[in-house]
Amino acid sequence: MARRETAQDGAQARLRELIAAELRPGDRLPNERELAARLAVSRATMREAIGALVAAGEVLRTWGVGTFVREPPAGVPVSLGEVIALRDKISATGHRPALHDASVGRVPCPDDCAEALGCPPGAPMWRVDRLFAVDGVPAAWIRDHLPLSVAGRDLDPSSLVSIEVDLLEFLARVTGVPVRRTDIDMAAVLAEGDAVDRLAVPAGHPLMSAVQLGVGEGNLPLFHGHILVRTDVLTLRITRRG
């Protein structure tokens, strides 16, 4: 089922259209009141829309001076500092996320997943394999492993073959245990094997590899995943908050 567009989503989209049509990098945006009037939204909604563009790195706000259009980044910026669906992180930058390929099935638990999830090696578990694209270009290959049940509730992740269903949202809805944090270890690697075909890159193309563990309340492990990212398409940003 498609997600309903919120007032903020609509305001963000129209604000991006206005910026693209009338402004260039370095130009200052009209003030909040004027933008709200032009786009026929409340000032509160416009404030949230501008804040989303600031968070996405598309505009720069200088208090007491104004908000300015920033130079577009080389790739789509994706923050690793918040537990938010990759789909929504991409959408927030004004780009179009899609699933080029996705599959779900039961497999024997790999050794590294067994250690992370506290399962016996070789025990049956779910594998969710998804290839995310940005504006039609393969960008991230994610292979997640999940236990067959969490908190006494059986899992059926077959709905995750749709871009409209996110792993974090799925776990919170089905198990009642939301993902509170993801621990991520990253390394730079060169494309080889299946990654060459999946991500449509030549052998030896630089990629970012990541291993992540999703954790719920009480340090309950919920999923373990392997990620390969084309950094020429997705720019990874780490945000630290004091």
- Could you tell me the pLDDT band of residue 3, with boundaries at 50, 70 and 90? very low
- Residue 221 contacts residue 215 (beta carbons within 8 Å): yes
Name the residue with higher pLDDT: 160 or 12. 160
- The DSSP result for 93-162, as a single string, is TT--EEEEEEEEEEEEPPHHHHHHHT--TT-EEEEEEEEEEETTEEEEEEEEEE-SEETTEE--GGGGGS
Question: pTM, whole model, 2 decimals?
Answer: 0.67
**What average pLDDT does range 144-155 have in this prediction?**
92
AA identity, residue 81: G
Residues contacting 41, CB < 8 A, separation 6+: 7, 10, 11, 49
Q: What does the alpha-carbon distance between residue 15 and residue 36 come to, in Å, rounded to a whole number?
A: 10
* pLDDT tens string 101-134: 999 999 999 999 999 998 899 999 999 999 999 8
CA distances from 208 to 116, 190, 221, 234, 239 (A): 21, 8, 24, 10, 17
Q: What is the pLDDT of residue 178?
A: 86
Give the Cα separation of 53 and 60 in Å (integer): 8
Least confident piece of the model among 18-22, 232-236, 237-241: 237-241
Each residue of 40-65: pLDDT tens digit?
999 999 998 898 888 766 788 887 88
- Over residues 203-231, the pLDDT tens digits come to 999 999 999 999 988 889 999 999 999 98
Instruction: Check: CB of residue 9 under 8 Å from CB of residue 29.
Output: no
Domains of the chain, earliest start first: 7-69 (1.10.10.10), 76-237 (3.40.1410.10)
Query: Could you give phi then psi for residue 116, rounded to 5 degrees?
Result: -70, -35
Sign of CA dihedral 32, 38, 44, 48: negative
- Beta bridge partners, 141, equal 131, 228
